[in-house]
Amino acid sequence: MSSVGGKRLRSSIFRPQSLLIGVVVLWFAALILVPTLALANKALEGGFRPFWNAILSSDARRAFALTIGITALATVVNTLFGLAFAMVLVRQRFWGRALADGIVDLPFAVSPIIAGLMLVIVYGPNGWLGSSLASLGWRVVYSWPGMVLATLFVTLPFVVREVVPVLREFGIDQEEVARTLGAGRWRTFWQVTLPSIRWGLAYGVTLTVARSLGEFGALLVVSGNILGRTQTATLYIHDTIEGFEPEGAYAASVVLAGISFVLLIGMEQLRKYVEVRESGQSE
């Protein structure tokens, strides 16, 4: 008489390889978890009070305010663009559509430093557009508009890429039904289209926000790396780590990491919603 007890395995033909699981989990812990904990440890090394003071220092607060401002602006603009362009890509046919589709993905392939360089070439004081703008008295590069542009560039694809597949899945039928029932274009969009793509949209927006908060390389180039220049949170971290009071850098890093973590949880939840959505609608 034999007895094979225990939990039901996912697959009996691959017996659980504890060694493999162990290696994988260890790799994850060593690569991802431990550095995260090390950061928290370093930041709180001197105690909670100095950590708190570092966060509330005026430099840090100004940096975060700028980051939030730029993030907000970039997110709004690229969400509008993303929604609009997704509609154009999915619902319209025109010459060059596939090309445009490809161009949207380009910012993913560009290093942030190179992105910054490109923007300086175009908008710098001697740049293609920059010179004309300068004569109008508008400084783009080495000032916050340039930073917004840089952030817009690196976060351009997110909303488009997340909305397009959901929009495709959603299908034109419901919109057509709405129109046969007399709904105008705007109402159809608001009451029929938008609700059906809301999870994909939310996911795209979350990715955009996360990316904007973390942008560094392009901002470094575009802001000119001069002493006393306007800093975002990431630039603040870079500048203070070299100096005599690195606690500021660690403190700000922990804050940014914390915000990223919250965004991450949001991303995970939304990802599940989008998956459920897609599998449900393909029935």
Q: Is residue 266 a contact partner of residue 206, using CB atoms and an 8 Å limit?
A: yes
Query: CB of 149: closest distance to other proteins in angstroms?
Result: 8
Count CB atoms within 10 A of the CB of residue 89.
20
Unique residue bearing structure tokens 């690195």: 246
Stretch touching other proteins by CB under 8 A, among 54-62, 151-159, 163-171, 190-198? 151-159
Q: Does 147 bind other proteins (CB under 8 A)?
A: no
Helix 58-91 with 233-242: angle, nearest 10 deg: 140
Q: Does 118 bind other proteins (CB under 8 A)?
A: yes
Q: Does 104 bind other proteins (CB under 8 A)?
A: yes
Stretch touching other proteins by CB under 8 A, among 49-57, 68-76, 102-110, 137-145? 102-110
Site for other proteins in 122-141 (CB under 8 A): 122, 127-129
DSSP 14: S
DSSP 8: P
CA distance 61 to 78: 25
Q: Does 163 bind other proteins (CB under 8 A)?
A: no
Angle at 52 between CA 43 and CA 37, to 5 degrees: 25
Q: Does 73 bind other proteins (CB under 8 A)?
A: no
Structure token pair of residue 48: 């909670």
Site for other proteins in 10-29 (CB under 8 A): 10-17, 20-21, 23-25, 27-28
CA distance 224 to 4: 68
Among 141, 156, 164, 166, the residue binding other proteins under the rule CB under 8 A is: 156
CA distance 44 to 104: 42
Angle at 122 between CA 207 and CA 85, to 5 degrees: 40
CA distance 57 to 160: 38
Q: Between 179 and 198, name the residue whose CB sits nearer to other proteins.
A: 179
Q: Between 104 and 196, name the residue whose CB sits nearer to other proteins.
A: 104
Q: Between 196 and 216, name the residue whose CB sits nearer to other proteins.
A: 216
Among 47, 49, 58, 94, the residue binding other proteins under the rule CB under 8 A is: 94
Q: Is residue 236 a contact partner of residue 67, using CB atoms and an 8 Å limit?
A: no
Number of residues this chain uses to bind other proteins (CB under 8 A) = 98
Query: CB of 166: closest distance to other proteins in angstroms?
Result: 16
Q: Does 192 bind other proteins (CB under 8 A)?
A: no
Site for other proteins in 220-279 (CB under 8 A): 220-221, 225, 234, 237-238, 241, 249-250, 253, 256-257, 260-261, 263-265, 267-268
Q: Does 34 bind other proteins (CB under 8 A)?
A: yes
**Residue 57: exposed, middle, or buried by beta-carbon count in 10 A (0-12, 13-18, 19+)?**
middle
Structure token pair of residue 272: 């599940």
Query: CB of 114: closest distance to other proteins in angstroms?
Result: 4
Q: Between 199 and 250, name the residue whose CB sits nearer to other proteins.
A: 250
Q: Does 50 bind other proteins (CB under 8 A)?
A: no
Among 54, 210, 270, 274, the residue binding other proteins under the rule CB under 8 A is: 210
* Secondary structure class of 268 (helix, strand, coil): helix
